[in-house]
Structure 1
């Protein structure tokens, strides 16, 4: 059960962190009316993940390994694209806070489905992987005499802990000012997105769509076991892999270096001078937890 608890924790932690940032972002900017879109995306992803698990369990046969990795890799790359868009929007918003942030947010989010798509992809990717892991573990449990429901219970407990950690991050995020919020969460998202991109590349390598699967850049599995607590936490938060290919490392470094540099430059730019027709300060946004 411990192994499946760690699987649920690892797979649920990244999705919980991204969703908590999205929710805190909307609450901080007074856009609570858009929370329904985020939860719609989350609900859709959960439904698809449950349906996928049911298909694996009751269908005629499971999905091929190559197809599993291709789906996971594709979802990862699409999610990175959407998260990157949001990161740069956050940097721009932080730079123009004094120029009526509320009007900017209205124009950028009221007609956009980017937020629910990010939520759906973040939860959906982890949900599909969790369904695959639970299905495999349940199948093995059914053949070795152990309770078949053990893997499901362990993974569920891990997911609940991940959700709790995500809520704790949300509770802290809504208490800092908007400028710091955008800067901190934007930087954190860059690291997360870099890990997701590298993970997606690895999935596509395992599916045979990209080369270099056996060309490792490093392997510290002996120091940080992938199934251990430290390895699980690093995987869940940063998508860190104890063994990574050269292509994975190259993609991660390139993404973090380029996107991180652009983000820092945007955040450091001085806000434009506020004219007399503009509000002198952004109205305070109160958030209750």
Structure 2
């Protein structure tokens, strides 16, 4: 539940900040008459995301076991690819997000009325579809799908409340720190989803070696134990993984975590202290101030 809560919170907060920036800029332009079209686009994005989640949940039941495993494995790998792209995209584009969105609004205002609808749908739809796909992939490997789904919904609702508070100046949060640490956490969650997807493909016979277990932790982490359930729900922990799952997990974490940490280090000169003792602000994503800009 915790992993899905943080997924919903992070993705929901991204979407909420984007919508807040768009609303604030339309107000600055004196075009609040276009807000209705923007909300239509946001509504379309939410509906499409919910539809994707429903299709992923109930669609595979008519398929054979092998087909379900192949679909589940392929979608798990796709979900990992999307969330990895999202983590690195936010790390590199966060600082210029407000400027980028404003240029898109300027271009949309000069076009047809449909352009604002499309802008709202695309701005929120990407976050929504990523959330639906990654939460589904994570829940499908967990022990309690209902609890996992509830965690994601609770995270989204929390994000809505925080976004509203930021837009009203009632909430102050260091978004740079938030996205940095959740990015690190999601890399570990994504590694578990990737290993689970490899396991699905092995069960379907697409990848060999499903019966070759690298090790067994059943004695240390018994099935049904509270800590085993917790590890499974958060990280898709498998007590008897195959060699392919272990190799993929280690390789993904090693490569992705290293690249992410290098990117964070390059983004630093974080908070140097001037000779007079005055703190110099770091060059980090200023998404919080964008809503009030």
Tell me which interval the TM-score lies in, with the shorter structure as reference length. Answer: 0.5 to 0.7
Offset of residue 187 of structure 1: 0.8
Offset of residue 155 of structure 1: 6.0
Does the alignment pair 1:27 with 2:16?
Answer: yes
Select the residue among 158, 177, 181 that pairs with 2:178: 181
Q: Is this contact kept in 2: 1:72–1:129, CA < 8 A? A: no
For 1:81 and 1:285, locate their aligned partners in 2 and report how far apart those are by CA, in whole Å: 30
Q: Is this contact kept in 2: 1:234–1:240, CA < 8 A? A: yes
Does the alignment pair 1:216 with 2:213?
Answer: yes
For 1:239 and 1:108, locate their aligned partners in 2 and report how far apart those are by CA, in whole Å: 39
> Equivalences for 1:100-179 in 2 at 5 Å?
100-104=96-100, 111=122, 114-125=126-137, 156=146, 158-159=147-148, 161-163=150-152, 166=155, 170=159, 176-179=173-176
What TM-score, normalized to structure 1? Answer: 0.66
Match of 2:65 in 1: 65
Task: Give the total of aligned pairs.
Answer: 236
Match of 1:225 in 2: 222
Unaligned stretches of 5+ residues in structure 2? 23-37, 106-118, 164-170, 270-282
Change (3 A) 1:19 1:38: farther
SS at the partner of 1:269?
helix
Match of 1:194 in 2: 191
Unaligned stretches of 5+ residues in structure 1? 1-8, 57-61, 134-153, 273-278
For 2:59 and 2:156, locate their aligned partners in 1 and report how far apart those are by CA, in whole Å: 26
Deviations 1:262-282 (A, max 9, x none): 11111111469xxxxxx9994
For 1:83 and 1:160, locate their aligned partners in 2 and report how far apart those are by CA, in whole Å: 17
Deviations 1:115-156 (A, max 9, x none): 2331231244467779xx9xxxxxxxxxxxxxxxxxxxx864
Q: Is this contact kept in 2: 1:41–1:119, CA < 8 A? A: no
Offset of residue 21 of structure 1: 1.4
Q: Is this contact kept in 1: 2:75–2:137, CA < 8 A? A: yes
For 1:236 and 1:38, locate their aligned partners in 2 and report how far apart those are by CA, in whole Å: 28
Offset of residue 69 of structure 1: 1.0
User: Aligned Cα RMSD in Å?
Assistant: 3.9
For 2:262 and 2:13, locate their aligned partners in 1 and report how far apart those are by CA, in whole Å: 24
Offset of residue 167 of structure 1: 5.4
